[in-house]
Amino acid sequence: MLNPSWRRIVLKVGSALIAPDPQAGCSEKYLGPIADFIRQCRDRDIEVILVSSGSVAAGRHHFNFNHHRVPIALKRAMAAVGQNQMMNFWSNCFDFPCAQVLLTHGDLSDRVRHVNVRNTLRRLLDHQVLPIVNENDTIATEEIKVGDNDNLAAMVATVANADALIICSDITGLFTADPNKDPSAQLIPEVRTIDERIYSLAGGASSSVGTGGMRTKVQAAEKATTHGVDTLIVDGHQQDTFTRLLDGFNPGTIFHGHKDPMSGKKHWVRHTLRAKGEIWVDDGCMKALRHQGASLLCSGIVHVQGEFEPGDAVIVRCGSGKVSIAKGVSRYSARELFSIKGQQTSEIAEHLGDILPGSTYEVIHRDEMTLLERL
Ligand code: GLU
Protein backbone atom coordinates (compact mmCIF):
# COMPACT_ATOMS: atom_id res chain seq x y z
CA MET A 1 0.00 0.00 0.00
CA LEU A 2 3.02 2.29 0.01
CA ASN A 3 1.66 4.78 -2.45
CA PRO A 4 4.44 5.86 -4.83
CA SER A 5 3.44 9.48 -4.26
CA TRP A 6 4.10 9.34 -0.50
CA ARG A 7 7.30 11.18 0.40
CA ARG A 8 6.84 11.48 4.16
CA ILE A 9 5.06 9.13 6.54
CA VAL A 10 4.36 9.03 10.27
CA LEU A 11 4.48 5.55 11.76
CA LYS A 12 2.79 5.07 15.13
CA VAL A 13 3.81 2.07 17.21
CA GLY A 14 1.72 1.24 20.28
CA SER A 15 2.81 0.06 23.74
CA ALA A 16 1.52 -3.47 23.08
CA LEU A 17 4.22 -3.82 20.41
CA ILE A 18 7.06 -2.19 22.36
CA ALA A 19 6.51 -3.98 25.66
CA PRO A 20 3.95 -6.77 25.11
CA ASP A 21 4.53 -8.05 28.64
CA PRO A 22 4.68 -4.98 30.91
CA GLN A 23 6.40 -7.04 33.59
CA ALA A 24 9.33 -7.61 31.23
CA GLY A 25 10.14 -4.19 29.70
CA CYS A 26 10.97 -3.57 26.02
CA SER A 27 10.96 -6.62 23.82
CA GLU A 28 12.51 -7.30 20.41
CA LYS A 29 9.60 -9.55 19.53
CA TYR A 30 7.78 -7.14 17.19
CA LEU A 31 10.28 -4.32 16.73
CA GLY A 32 12.58 -6.13 14.28
CA PRO A 33 10.15 -6.14 11.31
CA ILE A 34 9.05 -2.58 12.12
CA ALA A 35 12.66 -1.35 12.17
CA ASP A 36 13.25 -3.17 8.88
CA PHE A 37 10.20 -1.44 7.39
CA ILE A 38 11.55 1.97 8.49
CA ARG A 39 14.91 1.19 6.87
CA GLN A 40 13.25 0.12 3.62
CA CYS A 41 11.09 3.24 3.48
CA ARG A 42 14.17 5.41 3.90
CA ASP A 43 15.95 3.42 1.17
CA ARG A 44 13.02 4.33 -1.10
CA ASP A 45 13.45 8.03 -0.23
CA ILE A 46 10.38 8.10 1.99
CA GLU A 47 11.00 10.17 5.11
CA VAL A 48 9.80 8.54 8.31
CA ILE A 49 8.78 10.06 11.64
CA LEU A 50 8.21 7.45 14.34
CA VAL A 51 5.68 8.06 17.10
CA SER A 52 6.52 5.48 19.72
CA SER A 53 4.45 4.69 22.79
CA GLY A 54 5.66 2.41 25.51
CA SER A 55 7.53 4.56 28.00
CA VAL A 56 5.23 3.59 30.86
CA ALA A 57 4.99 -0.06 29.79
CA ALA A 58 8.77 -0.29 29.30
CA GLY A 59 9.57 1.24 32.69
CA ARG A 60 6.95 -0.54 34.73
CA HIS A 61 8.88 -3.67 35.65
CA HIS A 62 11.49 -1.61 37.54
CA PHE A 63 8.87 -0.64 40.11
CA ASN A 64 7.46 -3.06 42.59
CA PHE A 65 3.82 -2.34 41.88
CA ASN A 66 1.35 -4.97 40.77
CA HIS A 67 -2.03 -3.23 40.74
CA HIS A 68 -3.71 -2.56 37.41
CA ARG A 69 -4.38 1.14 38.14
CA VAL A 70 -1.07 2.96 38.51
CA PRO A 71 -1.16 6.30 40.44
CA ILE A 72 -0.20 9.22 38.20
CA ALA A 73 3.01 10.16 40.10
CA LEU A 74 4.25 6.58 39.76
CA LYS A 75 3.28 6.53 36.08
CA ARG A 76 5.42 9.62 35.52
CA ALA A 77 8.34 7.92 37.24
CA MET A 78 7.84 4.77 35.13
CA ALA A 79 7.77 6.90 31.99
CA ALA A 80 11.05 8.60 32.97
CA VAL A 81 12.80 5.22 33.17
CA GLY A 82 11.00 3.56 30.26
CA GLN A 83 11.40 6.43 27.78
CA ASN A 84 15.16 6.10 28.03
CA GLN A 85 15.03 2.34 27.58
CA MET A 86 12.64 2.58 24.66
CA MET A 87 14.90 5.13 22.92
CA ASN A 88 17.94 2.89 23.47
CA PHE A 89 16.03 0.01 22.02
CA TRP A 90 15.16 1.87 18.83
CA SER A 91 18.64 3.44 18.52
CA ASN A 92 20.21 -0.02 18.62
CA CYS A 93 18.07 -1.09 15.65
CA PHE A 94 19.58 1.52 13.29
CA ASP A 95 22.93 2.72 12.02
CA PHE A 96 21.63 6.28 11.60
CA PRO A 97 20.93 8.68 14.47
CA CYS A 98 17.60 8.83 16.28
CA ALA A 99 16.27 12.01 17.94
CA GLN A 100 13.99 12.07 20.96
CA VAL A 101 11.13 14.57 20.59
CA LEU A 102 8.88 14.82 23.66
CA LEU A 103 5.71 16.85 23.26
CA THR A 104 2.58 17.80 25.17
CA HIS A 105 -0.67 19.22 23.87
CA GLY A 106 0.52 22.68 24.94
CA ASP A 107 3.42 22.48 22.46
CA LEU A 108 1.01 21.96 19.57
CA SER A 109 -1.74 24.38 20.62
CA ASP A 110 0.64 27.31 21.11
CA ARG A 111 1.22 28.79 17.66
CA VAL A 112 4.90 29.67 18.22
CA ARG A 113 5.82 26.30 19.72
CA HIS A 114 3.80 24.60 16.95
CA VAL A 115 6.04 26.27 14.36
CA ASN A 116 9.15 25.31 16.37
CA VAL A 117 8.04 21.66 16.36
CA ARG A 118 7.52 21.79 12.58
CA ASN A 119 10.92 23.39 11.96
CA THR A 120 12.77 20.97 14.21
CA LEU A 121 11.16 17.93 12.57
CA ARG A 122 12.10 19.30 9.15
CA ARG A 123 15.72 19.89 10.18
CA LEU A 124 15.98 16.37 11.58
CA LEU A 125 14.60 14.83 8.40
CA ASP A 126 16.85 17.02 6.23
CA HIS A 127 19.81 15.54 8.09
CA GLN A 128 18.60 11.92 7.77
CA VAL A 129 17.89 11.66 11.50
CA LEU A 130 14.92 9.54 12.59
CA PRO A 131 12.67 11.64 14.87
CA ILE A 132 11.06 9.49 17.59
CA VAL A 133 8.13 11.33 19.16
CA ASN A 134 6.26 10.53 22.36
CA GLU A 135 4.12 12.48 24.79
CA ASN A 136 6.21 13.96 27.59
CA ASP A 137 4.56 11.69 30.14
CA THR A 138 6.96 12.62 32.94
CA ILE A 139 5.66 16.18 33.22
CA ALA A 140 2.28 16.03 31.44
CA THR A 141 -0.79 16.88 33.53
CA GLU A 142 -4.40 16.20 32.51
CA GLU A 143 -4.79 19.78 31.25
CA ILE A 144 -1.76 19.82 28.99
CA LYS A 145 -1.57 16.30 27.65
CA VAL A 146 -2.94 14.87 24.42
CA GLY A 147 -3.65 11.68 26.34
CA ASP A 148 -3.10 9.03 23.69
CA ASN A 149 -0.51 8.52 21.01
CA ASP A 150 -3.01 7.86 18.20
CA ASN A 151 -4.20 11.48 18.38
CA LEU A 152 -0.64 12.67 19.03
CA ALA A 153 0.53 10.86 15.88
CA ALA A 154 -2.24 12.53 13.84
CA MET A 155 -1.17 15.93 15.18
CA VAL A 156 2.43 15.14 14.29
CA ALA A 157 1.35 14.06 10.79
CA THR A 158 -0.41 17.40 10.27
CA VAL A 159 2.31 19.57 11.78
CA ALA A 160 4.91 17.74 9.65
CA ASN A 161 2.74 17.82 6.51
CA ALA A 162 3.06 14.07 6.09
CA ASP A 163 1.41 12.23 3.19
CA ALA A 164 0.40 9.23 5.28
CA LEU A 165 -0.07 8.08 8.85
CA ILE A 166 0.33 4.36 9.55
CA ILE A 167 -0.96 3.25 12.95
CA CYS A 168 0.52 -0.10 13.97
CA SER A 169 -1.93 -1.69 16.32
CA ASP A 170 -2.64 -5.10 17.83
CA ILE A 171 -5.66 -5.56 15.56
CA THR A 172 -5.81 -5.83 11.74
CA GLY A 173 -7.93 -2.74 11.21
CA LEU A 174 -11.50 -1.54 11.64
CA PHE A 175 -14.11 -4.31 11.71
CA THR A 176 -17.88 -4.40 11.29
CA ALA A 177 -18.06 -5.66 14.92
CA ASP A 178 -15.60 -6.41 17.72
CA PRO A 179 -13.71 -9.46 16.35
CA ASN A 180 -12.82 -10.53 19.90
CA LYS A 181 -16.51 -11.06 20.60
CA ASP A 182 -18.16 -11.65 17.24
CA PRO A 183 -16.65 -14.32 14.95
CA SER A 184 -18.65 -13.00 11.97
CA ALA A 185 -16.92 -9.57 12.18
CA GLN A 186 -15.51 -8.46 8.80
CA LEU A 187 -12.50 -6.23 8.16
CA ILE A 188 -13.42 -2.93 6.48
CA PRO A 189 -10.60 -2.35 3.97
CA GLU A 190 -11.36 1.29 3.13
CA VAL A 191 -13.24 4.25 4.56
CA ARG A 192 -13.93 7.43 2.62
CA THR A 193 -16.14 9.27 5.10
CA ILE A 194 -15.76 9.17 8.87
CA ASP A 195 -19.26 9.56 10.29
CA GLU A 196 -21.27 8.39 13.30
CA ARG A 197 -21.52 4.89 11.86
CA ILE A 198 -17.75 4.55 11.70
CA TYR A 199 -17.43 5.85 15.27
CA SER A 200 -20.04 3.38 16.45
CA LEU A 201 -18.05 0.51 14.88
CA ALA A 202 -14.96 1.74 16.73
CA GLY A 203 -16.65 1.44 20.11
CA GLY A 204 -15.62 -2.07 21.05
CA ALA A 205 -12.10 -3.17 20.30
CA SER A 206 -9.37 -2.03 22.65
CA SER A 207 -5.92 -2.98 23.84
CA SER A 208 -5.10 -3.75 27.47
CA VAL A 209 -1.54 -2.33 27.36
CA GLY A 210 -1.76 1.09 25.69
CA THR A 211 -4.11 4.03 26.27
CA GLY A 212 -5.91 4.06 22.95
CA GLY A 213 -8.60 1.75 21.64
CA MET A 214 -10.16 1.77 18.19
CA ARG A 215 -12.01 5.00 19.00
CA THR A 216 -8.82 7.04 19.40
CA LYS A 217 -7.58 5.53 16.12
CA VAL A 218 -10.70 6.71 14.29
CA GLN A 219 -10.33 10.15 15.93
CA ALA A 220 -6.74 10.18 14.70
CA ALA A 221 -7.89 9.18 11.22
CA GLU A 222 -10.42 12.02 11.22
CA LYS A 223 -7.79 14.56 12.29
CA ALA A 224 -5.33 13.35 9.68
CA THR A 225 -7.65 12.79 6.71
CA THR A 226 -9.23 16.26 7.01
CA HIS A 227 -5.68 17.54 6.55
CA GLY A 228 -5.32 15.39 3.43
CA VAL A 229 -3.27 12.64 5.12
CA ASP A 230 -4.08 9.04 4.12
CA THR A 231 -4.36 6.98 7.32
CA LEU A 232 -3.93 3.24 7.74
CA ILE A 233 -4.63 1.02 10.72
CA VAL A 234 -2.60 -2.19 10.47
CA ASP A 235 -1.61 -5.10 12.69
CA GLY A 236 1.95 -4.50 13.84
CA HIS A 237 2.21 -8.02 15.28
CA GLN A 238 2.37 -9.61 11.84
CA GLN A 239 5.61 -9.42 9.89
CA ASP A 240 3.53 -9.97 6.79
CA THR A 241 1.85 -6.57 7.35
CA PHE A 242 5.07 -4.77 6.48
CA THR A 243 5.92 -7.00 3.54
CA ARG A 244 2.47 -6.34 2.12
CA LEU A 245 2.76 -2.60 2.68
CA LEU A 246 6.08 -2.56 0.83
CA ASP A 247 4.60 -4.65 -1.98
CA GLY A 248 1.80 -2.12 -2.49
CA PHE A 249 -1.06 -3.95 -0.76
CA ASN A 250 -3.40 -2.74 1.95
CA PRO A 251 -3.07 -5.11 4.92
CA GLY A 252 -5.62 -3.32 7.13
CA THR A 253 -8.01 -0.38 6.87
CA ILE A 254 -7.21 2.75 4.87
CA PHE A 255 -9.01 6.03 5.55
CA HIS A 256 -8.53 8.16 2.47
CA GLY A 257 -7.15 11.67 2.94
CA HIS A 258 -9.50 14.43 1.74
CA LYS A 259 -8.71 15.74 -1.73
CA ASP A 260 -9.82 19.21 -0.63
CA PRO A 261 -8.30 19.51 2.87
CA MET A 262 -9.16 22.19 5.44
CA SER A 263 -6.83 25.19 5.62
CA GLY A 264 -4.00 24.80 8.15
CA LYS A 265 -5.45 27.46 10.46
CA LYS A 266 -8.98 26.04 10.46
CA HIS A 267 -7.63 22.54 10.98
CA TRP A 268 -5.60 23.73 13.97
CA VAL A 269 -8.68 25.44 15.46
CA ARG A 270 -10.86 22.38 14.87
CA HIS A 271 -8.50 19.59 15.83
CA THR A 272 -5.78 20.98 18.09
CA LEU A 273 -7.14 23.88 20.14
CA ARG A 274 -9.30 22.98 23.13
CA ALA A 275 -12.49 24.95 23.70
CA LYS A 276 -12.45 27.02 26.89
CA GLY A 277 -16.08 28.18 26.78
CA GLU A 278 -19.31 28.51 24.81
CA ILE A 279 -21.13 31.25 22.96
CA TRP A 280 -24.86 30.70 22.35
CA VAL A 281 -26.43 32.49 19.38
CA ASP A 282 -29.93 33.21 18.03
CA ASP A 283 -31.50 31.55 14.97
CA GLY A 284 -30.63 34.36 12.54
CA CYS A 285 -26.98 34.19 13.53
CA MET A 286 -26.99 30.39 13.31
CA LYS A 287 -28.30 30.57 9.72
CA ALA A 288 -25.72 33.21 8.78
CA LEU A 289 -22.90 31.05 10.12
CA ARG A 290 -24.17 27.84 8.58
CA HIS A 291 -25.39 28.99 5.20
CA GLN A 292 -23.69 32.31 4.40
CA GLY A 293 -20.14 31.67 5.62
CA ALA A 294 -20.48 34.73 7.89
CA SER A 295 -18.23 35.76 10.78
CA LEU A 296 -19.82 35.77 14.25
CA LEU A 297 -20.98 39.24 15.30
CA CYS A 298 -22.02 40.41 18.73
CA SER A 299 -25.59 41.15 17.77
CA GLY A 300 -26.47 37.43 17.46
CA ILE A 301 -25.10 36.38 20.86
CA VAL A 302 -27.66 35.49 23.54
CA HIS A 303 -25.52 33.82 26.20
CA VAL A 304 -21.87 33.28 27.14
CA GLN A 305 -20.57 30.41 29.24
CA GLY A 306 -17.16 29.60 30.76
CA GLU A 307 -14.07 31.72 31.32
CA PHE A 308 -12.02 32.51 28.27
CA GLU A 309 -9.62 35.18 27.06
CA PRO A 310 -9.09 36.72 23.61
CA GLY A 311 -7.38 34.07 21.45
CA ASP A 312 -9.02 31.12 23.21
CA ALA A 313 -11.18 28.65 21.28
CA VAL A 314 -14.90 28.42 22.02
CA ILE A 315 -17.83 26.34 20.84
CA VAL A 316 -20.72 28.22 19.23
CA ARG A 317 -24.12 26.71 20.07
CA CYS A 318 -27.64 27.51 18.98
CA GLY A 319 -29.85 29.48 21.40
CA SER A 320 -31.10 26.48 23.38
CA GLY A 321 -27.51 25.32 23.86
CA LYS A 322 -28.38 21.87 22.52
CA VAL A 323 -26.70 21.93 19.11
CA SER A 324 -23.04 22.75 18.45
CA ILE A 325 -22.73 24.80 15.29
CA ALA A 326 -19.12 25.89 15.07
CA LYS A 327 -15.77 26.13 16.82
CA GLY A 328 -13.62 29.22 16.54
CA VAL A 329 -11.18 31.61 18.15
CA SER A 330 -12.84 34.39 20.14
CA ARG A 331 -11.38 37.87 19.82
CA TYR A 332 -13.00 38.89 23.10
CA SER A 333 -12.87 37.57 26.64
CA ALA A 334 -15.98 36.03 28.23
CA ARG A 335 -16.11 39.04 30.58
CA GLU A 336 -16.18 41.50 27.65
CA LEU A 337 -18.81 39.48 25.81
CA PHE A 338 -21.08 39.50 28.86
CA SER A 339 -21.23 43.28 28.67
CA ILE A 340 -21.68 43.60 24.88
CA LYS A 341 -23.69 40.52 23.85
CA GLY A 342 -26.67 41.29 21.64
CA GLN A 343 -25.37 44.77 20.75
CA GLN A 344 -24.92 46.25 17.30
CA THR A 345 -21.40 47.12 16.19
CA SER A 346 -22.05 50.86 16.67
CA GLU A 347 -22.92 50.36 20.35
CA ILE A 348 -19.89 48.22 21.11
CA ALA A 349 -17.32 50.99 20.68
CA GLU A 350 -19.10 53.01 23.38
CA HIS A 351 -18.91 50.13 25.80
CA LEU A 352 -15.39 48.90 25.20
CA GLY A 353 -13.62 51.83 23.60
CA ASP A 354 -11.28 51.16 20.72
CA ILE A 355 -9.83 47.97 22.19
CA LEU A 356 -9.08 46.45 18.82
CA PRO A 357 -7.88 49.27 16.56
CA GLY A 358 -9.12 48.82 13.00
CA SER A 359 -11.30 45.92 14.04
CA THR A 360 -14.71 45.31 12.55
CA TYR A 361 -15.80 43.88 15.90
CA GLU A 362 -16.19 40.33 14.68
CA VAL A 363 -16.27 38.13 17.73
CA ILE A 364 -15.04 35.17 15.67
CA HIS A 365 -13.67 35.77 12.19
CA ARG A 366 -14.83 33.27 9.55
CA ASP A 367 -11.20 32.35 8.76
CA GLU A 368 -10.72 31.23 12.35
CA MET A 369 -13.94 29.21 12.60
CA THR A 370 -15.00 25.77 11.41
CA LEU A 371 -18.55 24.48 11.18
CA LEU A 372 -19.26 21.35 13.18
CA GLU A 373 -21.32 18.54 11.84
CA ARG A 374 -20.74 16.52 14.95
CA LEU A 375 -19.18 17.14 18.38
N1 GLU B 1 2.65 8.07 25.91
C2 GLU B 1 2.29 6.80 26.51
C3 GLU B 1 3.53 5.97 26.76
O4 GLU B 1 4.53 6.14 26.12
C5 GLU B 1 1.42 5.95 25.65
C6 GLU B 1 0.11 6.52 25.25
C7 GLU B 1 -0.60 5.55 24.32
O8 GLU B 1 -0.31 4.36 24.34
O9 GLU B 1 -1.46 5.99 23.58
O10 GLU B 1 3.48 5.09 27.60
**Residue 157: its pLDDT value, please?**
97
Confidence bin at 209 (pLDDT 50/70/90):
very low
Confidence bin at 3 (pLDDT 50/70/90):
confident
CA of 149 to the centre of ligand 1 (A): 6
Residue 104 known to bind ligand: no
Q: Which domains does the chain have, with CATH numbers?
A: 8-266 (3.40.1160.10), 275-371 (2.30.130.10)
**Residue 150: its pLDDT value, please?**
96
- CB distance 295 to ligand 1 below 6 Å: no
| Terminal Cα-to-Cα distance of the chain (whole angstroms) | 32
Task: Over range 223-230, report the average pLDDT.
Answer: 96
For the beta carbon of residue 184, count every other beta carbon within 10 angstroms.
8
- pLDDT tens digits along 13-28: 999 999 998 788 899 8
Q: How far is CA 174 from CA 115, 223, 249, 293, in A?
A: 33, 17, 16, 35
Q: Which of 137, 138, 145, 214 to mutate to test the pocket of ligand 1 (most atoms within 8 A of CB)?
A: 137
Q: How far is CA 349 from CA 295, 297, 339, in A?
A: 18, 13, 12
Contact 334, 280 (CB under 8 A): no
Residue 86 predicted with pLDDT over 90: yes
**Residue 354: its pLDDT value, please?**
55
The average confidence (pLDDT) of the chain is 90
**Residue 205: its pLDDT value, please?**
43
- CB distance 170 to ligand 1 below 6 Å: no
Confidence bin at 30 (pLDDT 50/70/90):
very high
**pTM, rounded to two decimals:** 0.88
Confidence bin at 340 (pLDDT 50/70/90):
confident
**Residue 307: its pLDDT value, please?**
95
Please state whether beta strands 130-135 and 47-52 pair in parallel, antiparallel, or not at all (unpaired): parallel
Please spell the DSSP secondary structure of 273-306, one letter per residue. Answer: SPEEEEEEE-HHHHHHHHHH-PPEEGGGEEEEEE
> Rounded distance, CA 265 to CA 111, Å?
10
Residue 357 predicted with pLDDT over 90: no
Confidence bin at 322 (pLDDT 50/70/90):
confident
**Residue 247: its pLDDT value, please?**
92
Residue 316 predicted with pLDDT over 70: yes
Task: Over range 346-366, report the average pLDDT.
Answer: 71
- CB distance 169 to ligand 1 below 6 Å: no
Residue 124 predicted with pLDDT over 70: yes
Report the share of the chain in percent with pLDDT over 70: 93
What is the side-by-side order of every strand in the sheet holding 324-329?
Answer: 301-306, 275-281, 313-318, 324-329, 369-371
Residue 215 known to bind ligand: yes
